[in-house]
Structure 1
Amino acid sequence: MANPMPEAVARLCRRAAPEPDDVLDEMETTARESGFPTIGPDAGAFYRLSARLTAASSVFEFGSGFGYSAYWVAPALPSDGQIVLTEHDPDELDMAREFFARGGYDDRAVFEEGDAIETVERYDGPFDLVLVDNEDDRYVEAFEAVRGKVAPGGIVLADNVLAAGEQFGPDAVLDALDGDEAPATAHHIADYYERVRADPDFETALVPVGEGLLASVRL
């Protein structure tokens, strides 16, 4: 299940998204040819819109790969803004550096190799936008690590909350939330649903674009 949305709706989301530049086109080609999962242009457009709605100048991303998601956000940041990309794989991080440099956004990017949750501990924040796309069994841990560093009015966006490739789909998440049998990955996502919805300092809504986003706003 690559995308839980009806194909016509997904196509309309892509048609509504901003036109990608040449670098983003190349990133999409790279992802397609290598089979690397990305959020896609529909969710990418919502990431960028979220940055604009929060007037974001400080962004942190848990799990950046070769920088696709972060690159969608970069044009919405001011020239003195900052987006922190985190990635275990040094080769992917090098790719992200190259893409950002070619796009002219390397002046607002910080590239951190290593564990994202350990990395965020070194930053004080506040962050206007946080992107959660690390290991699904560590989504709750990522939220716990960053929740106190989110600015009032800031947004935490978690990806893959309706589906993740062939691993699970919306029905599996519902089963997990109801305590029924479901894939482990769906139970990890259900744990995240329950954690953010129970937090009195955040208000959360599901955004059904791409493979699903949970948007949690700091009150």
Structure 2
Amino acid sequence: MPEPTPENWAAVDRYLADTLVGHDAALDAALASQQAAHLAPIEVAPVAGKLLHLLVRISRARRVLEIGTLAGYSAIWMARALPDGGSVVSIEAEPRNAALARSNAAAAGVADRVEILVGRGADVLPSLDGREPFDLVFIDADKESNTIYLDWAARLGRPGAVVVVDNVGRSGRVVDDTTDDPQVQGVRAGLAMLGDDPRFDATAIQTVGVKGWDGLAIAVLV
């Protein structure tokens, strides 16, 4: 039996991606552009991108909010799952990343479905108040602000909307209630909010794979 090592986790992840996800020229090009721009390789794994795609389809989402665009990899996955007239609104703090994501969305043929707003999430989210509610919210930005993002997800999402929060495992450090790591503290605060706030009904799963030991939380707005 294979040992439960990071190398074997990654090998299984690659096998699952090859078997169930496959390769796509536009998505591969988006990742290549991200690497060429020397951006951190913190995009979701292919199997997670496909999960987001399926969640959009399963929830029949028309309007998706993403907090944390990077080079647009996950935005492309979700935009491709939308029906005609659907849209992804994605917020990116770094103008250079936003420009790259727009280019990648255009190359993938989904520029008409992806709107990228530049600025810190906490600053941009209030500007969305009053727009049509969102059906799915994907949170994958600075972990220190997870509670802010969750609060706005609840304000901007319709009842029954799906909320996904990435990177909640933190290589197991999420169980450490004495940590001074602000990212882990932010994740813990966000999970506590999901558990205590009556606007959410949530669970979480830990994951292993090409991104190491991590996890994601999934909630429904009540």
TM-score past 0.5 threshold: yes
The CA distance in 1 between the partners of 2:78 and 2:19, in whole Å, is 16
Distance in 2 separating the partners of 1:192 and 1:55:
26
Pick the aligned partner of 1:64 from 69, 91, 98. 69
* Equivalent in 137, 143, 168 of residue 161 of structure 1: 168
Counterpart CA distance in 2 for 1:16 and 1:188 is 35
- CA gap of 1:17–1:192, structure 2 versus 1, over 3 A, is farther
Structure 1 consecutive aligned stretches of length 4 or more whose deviation exceeds 6 Å: none
The TM-score, its normalising length taken from structure 2, stands at 0.85
Conservation of the 8 A alpha-carbon contact between 1:62 and 1:86: yes
Q: Deviation at 1:108?
A: 1.0
1:167-207 alpha-carbon deviations (Å, 9 max, x no partner):
xx11x11122xxx3463321211111100111222211113
Does residue 29 in structure 1 map to residue 32 in structure 2? yes
* SS class of match (1:121): helix
Q: Does 1:147 align with 2:154?
A: yes
Contact 2:117–2:124 (CA<8 Å) still a contact in 1?
Answer: yes
Segment of structure 1 superposing worse, 209-218 or 103-112: 209-218
Does the 8 Å contact 2:34/2:71 carry over to 1? no
**Aligned amino acid, residue 84 of structure 1:** V
Q: Which runs of 5+ in 1 are unaligned?
A: 164-168
Kept in 2: contact 1:157–1:216 (CA 8 A): yes
Length, aligned pairs only:
208
Q: Give the number of the structure with larger relative contact order, counting CA–CA contacts within 8 Å between residues 6 or more apart.
A: 1
How far does the alpha carbon of each residue in 1:129-181 deviate from its partner, in whole angstroms, 9 at most, with x for none?
Answer: 10111111001111112212212221111111112xxxxx11x11122xxx34
- The aligned runs of 1:117-136 (5 Å cut-off) are 117-123=122-128, 124-136=131-143
Structure 2: gaps (5+ residues): 1-5
Superposition map of 1:184-195 within 5 A: 184-195=182-193
Query: What's the C-alpha RMSD, in Å, of the aligned pairs?
Result: 2.1
Which residue is 2:59 aligned to? 54
Distance change in 2, residues 1:71/1:83 (3 Å): same
Residues 62 and 117 in structure 1, CA contact (< 8 A), matched pair in contact too = no
* Residues 100-140 of structure 1: per-residue CA shift (max 9 Å, x gap): 11111011111211122222212234111101111110011
Shift of 1:81: 0.6
Could you tell me the percent identity over the aligned residues?
A: 26
Query: Residue 39 of structure 1: CA displacement?
Result: 1.0
- The TM-score with structure 1 as length reference comes to 0.86
1:69 Cα shift?
A: 1.3
CA contact (8 A) 2:202 2:219 kept: yes
Report if the CA contact (8 A) 1:65-1:92 is conserved: yes
Given that 2:62 and 2:85 are in contact with CA atoms closer than 8 Å, whether structure 1 keeps it comes out as: yes
How has the CA–CA distance of structure 1 residues 152 and 106 changed in structure 2, closer, same or farther, with 3 Å as cutoff? same
Hey, what does 2:220 align to over in structure 1? 217
Q: Partners in 2 of 1:72 and 1:5 — Cα distance? A: 26
1:15 aligns with 2:18: yes
Shift of 1:91: 1.5
Aligned to 2:80, what secondary structure does the other structure show?
helix
Which position in structure 2 is the counterpart of 1:166?
A: none
SS at match of 2:151: helix
Aligned residues of 2:75 and 2:88 also touching (Cα < 8 A) = yes
Kept in 2, the 8 Å contact 1:31–1:38? The answer is: no
